[in-house]
Structure 1
Amino acid sequence: MNSDDLALFAQVAKNGSISRAAMELGADQSTVSRRVGLLEAELGVRLFHRSGRGVTLTARGQQLLGYATTLNETLAEAERAMRDSAEQGPAKLCIAAQPTIARILFGSLGHALKARYPLTQVHFVEGLAADILNRLSDGAVDIAILYLPEHPGALQFDPLLSEGVQLITPANYPLKGDTISVRDLGDIPLILPSTHHGLRMMVESLANRYGFSANIALECDGSISITKRLVLENCGCTVLPEAAVVEEVKAGRLKSYRLEDPEIHRTVAIVWPKNRVTADGLWAVTQIIRQRAADMVEQGAWPGATLINP
């Protein structure tokens, strides 16, 4: 006996007729009759008195109907509780992102999350990838939105979008055109993070693949804004997504050159650790993140980005 059997039994009892119950259930009368018979055989009792006018409950049938009613109410209550919990969202939610992603996405995402989950305490964190990944693994961060590392390792991730990477130089840097071959990066003095950070690993990987040596003018593990300040003050050049420098390039304070032969892209992904159980409600949060990112790309608010369909 299972909940489906009890639901069918209760429907027959409610209708007082196997044929009417079959119509309500969208089933064949013979199927309903057979299942009632099997239930009676399994329990070893007669549940209905049968007559030409329909069926009526026996004393044992009345007893079982009480259990069936209680079970149906319990199942309905469980469904309501789960729906209410999903509607309310998590009590607390910590989302982390690297600086460029945070600057573009956090404002729009904050509005969307508070509209959807007004009772949730939302905490945004901006940081470098290594720090975010450590906090993600420790459980201090629930979801991260990151440029996917060259070697994701023990991460689960859902690709969100692809973003082009460009060479960024001072406004007066003596480089013609608006593109540069990846193979010519070895001639450019670069300001990059130290070796365990994503952009540095990407450039080192390109150097190995295309046969040049990265010319590291300075190492900077600070924020993107510090790296941009160093470029503005002619300390060197860097590689960044277009969205990270769109205001400075538009104002003529920096110049950007598209990397080509081939074009270089990084994947922005929603990330969580493999070694931790995903908290309730986070799947719905990831869908909100995806929708916000899609809206911003379609509106042109995320320059140089292309959506990756789930």
Structure 2
Amino acid sequence: MNLKQLKYFLAIAEHGTFLKASEKVFIAQSALSHQIALLEDELGTSLFHRSRRGVTLTEAGEVLMAHARSILRQVDDARESLASLTDSPAGKVTFGIPHSVSNALALPLLQTTRKDLPRVNLELTEELTGNLSRQLHAGQIHMAVLFDDGTLDDFVCEPLLVERLSLITPVAMTPAGDAISLHEALGMPLILPAQPHGVRPLIEQAAVMAGFAEPNVIADISSISILRTSLLAGMGCTLLPVMPLINEIQQQQLQATPVHSPELTRTVTLCRSAHIPMSAAASSVWNTCVTLAQTLSESGVWRDAVVATRHLAH
């Protein structure tokens, strides 16, 4: 197995036919077919289902695709890191960001990276936290923002901020008073992300530790846009930090009520693989994100968030 074969394999997987792939990688179709045949012979398995319409990946092909993307990305990172020894950081960095953090971090990170790291191509991928964790394990992304729920031991992590969660309700369902107890909040008709995504594990863990009944979940919705629509339609409430729905809260379409006894918080954490070295470009984006999160919190732009205790740990 060699890097060219992996490159050819990915081209076929992405374009669906040997002909289109051969045009993409500038190699004769017969030579491309020969290289894939050698690869399949070495691995002892078929990588593609072949038909008149084109090709699709076999189960073995799906497994190899994840590894191939990771391997080729690491090769690119190595080249870019060496080139950056005598120049400013350059190269592509893929940064995973959860839906519920995107509203606070995505645009400022893009703007700051473009200004301070002009030769870095920052690609943001917005996903559910469970998906980001799997992509980080597979080496498909350089780093990701995740939430410290006790399951991050496989990564190198740096806490960024501690965010306070509030009960967010349609105006007609706003509870009396300036705050609500966790026990009362758990009994409200709640719309929460499905397990194991987002704040759901943190809320359920808090309920267990306090000796309360499990949350009264009336709908599992992991999309912020669908959650927003559901709340505005008066279907129920949610437990989230304010930033994902800050526009609706500021326009008084939704109401945020702090939770107490105990207070609900989540630790926003920047994570990377413990086994894959970071490129110079990725290291620069990492440091930029750490500094930016602190600035956004201290300036009040990132609402209901305080700077977390900083340390690097496995």
TM-score normalised by length of structure 2: 0.68
- Whole-angstrom CA distance in 2 between matches of 1:154 and 1:95: 18
Structure 1 partner of 2:176? 176
Could you tell me whether the CA contact under 8 Å between 1:183 and 1:211 is conserved in 2? no
Structure 1: segments with no counterpart, 5+ residues: 1-80
Could you tell me whether the CA contact under 8 Å between 1:96 and 1:143 is conserved in 2? yes
- Whole-angstrom CA distance in 2 between matches of 1:130 and 1:83: 34
1:296 equivalent to 2:269? Answer no
Offset at 1:148? Answer: 2.3
Structure 2 partner of 1:216? 217
1:125 equivalent to 2:125? Answer yes
- Whole-angstrom CA distance in 2 between matches of 1:298 and 1:116: 20
Offset at 1:253? Answer: 0.7
- Whole-angstrom CA distance in 1 between matches of 2:100 and 2:86: 30
Count of equivalent residues: 229
> Secondary structure at 1:135's aligned position in 2?
helix
Offset at 1:189? Answer: 1.1
> Secondary structure at 1:245's aligned position in 2?
helix
- Whole-angstrom CA distance in 1 between matches of 2:253 and 2:180: 19
Offset at 1:119? Answer: 2.1
Structure 2 partner of 1:63? none
Structure 2 partner of 1:189? 189
- Whole-angstrom CA distance in 2 between matches of 1:135 and 1:99: 15
Structure 2 partner of 1:68? none
Structure 2 partner of 1:233? 233
Structure 1 partner of 2:73? none
Could you tell me whether the CA contact under 8 Å between 2:84 and 2:90 is conserved in 1? no
Q: Which stretch of the first structure deviates more once superposed, 278-287 or 89-98? A: 278-287
Residue type matched to 2:208 in 1? N
Distance 1:204 1:186, change over 3 A: same
Residue type matched to 2:178 in 1? D
> Secondary structure at 2:180's aligned position in 1?
strand
Structure 2 partner of 1:103? 103
Offset at 1:281? Answer: 4.1
- Whole-angstrom CA distance in 2 between matches of 1:263 and 1:86: 49
Residue type matched to 1:230 in 2? S
Offset at 1:86? Answer: 6.8
Distance 1:186 1:265, change over 3 A: closer
- Whole-angstrom CA distance in 2 between matches of 1:294 and 1:173: 34
Residue type matched to 1:132 in 2? L
Q: Which stretch of the first structure deviates more once superposed, 97-106 or 256-265? A: 97-106
1:285 equivalent to 2:312? Answer no
Larger-gyration structure (1/2): 1
- Whole-angstrom CA distance in 1 between matches of 2:178 and 2:275: 44
Offset at 1:85? Answer: 2.8
Offset at 1:289? Answer: 0.8
Identity of aligned residues (%): 25
What do residues 113-170 of structure 1 show as CA deviations (whole Å, max 9, x unaligned)? 1223322222111111011111112222101122223432312210011110111111
- Whole-angstrom CA distance in 1 between matches of 2:252 and 2:199: 24
What do residues 198-254 of structure 1 show as CA deviations (whole Å, max 9, x unaligned)? 311112112211222211111112x21211211111111111102122221121111
Structure 2: segments with no counterpart, 5+ residues: 1-80
Residue type matched to 2:249 in 1? V
- Whole-angstrom CA distance in 2 between matches of 1:299 and 1:86: 35
Offset at 1:304? Answer: 0.5
Distance 1:116 1:261, change over 3 A: same
Could you tell me whether the CA contact under 8 Å between 1:150 and 1:201 is conserved in 2? no
Could you tell me whether the CA contact under 8 Å between 2:104 and 2:302 is conserved in 1? yes
Could you tell me whether the CA contact under 8 Å between 1:114 and 1:120 is conserved in 2? yes
- Whole-angstrom CA distance in 1 between matches of 2:84 and 2:131: 35
Structure 2 partner of 1:151? 151
Could you tell me whether the CA contact under 8 Å between 1:163 and 1:265 is conserved in 2? yes
Could you tell me whether the CA contact under 8 Å between 2:171 and 2:252 is conserved in 1? yes
Offset at 1:185? Answer: 2.6
Could you tell me whether the CA contact under 8 Å between 1:149 and 1:198 is conserved in 2? no
Could you tell me whether the CA contact under 8 Å between 2:182 and 2:259 is conserved in 1? yes
- Whole-angstrom CA distance in 1 between matches of 2:136 and 2:249: 33
> Secondary structure at 1:88's aligned position in 2?
coil
- Whole-angstrom CA distance in 1 between matches of 2:284 and 2:92: 14
Distance 1:277 1:153, change over 3 A: same
**What is the correspondence of 1:62-77 to structure 2 with a 5 Å cutoff?**
none
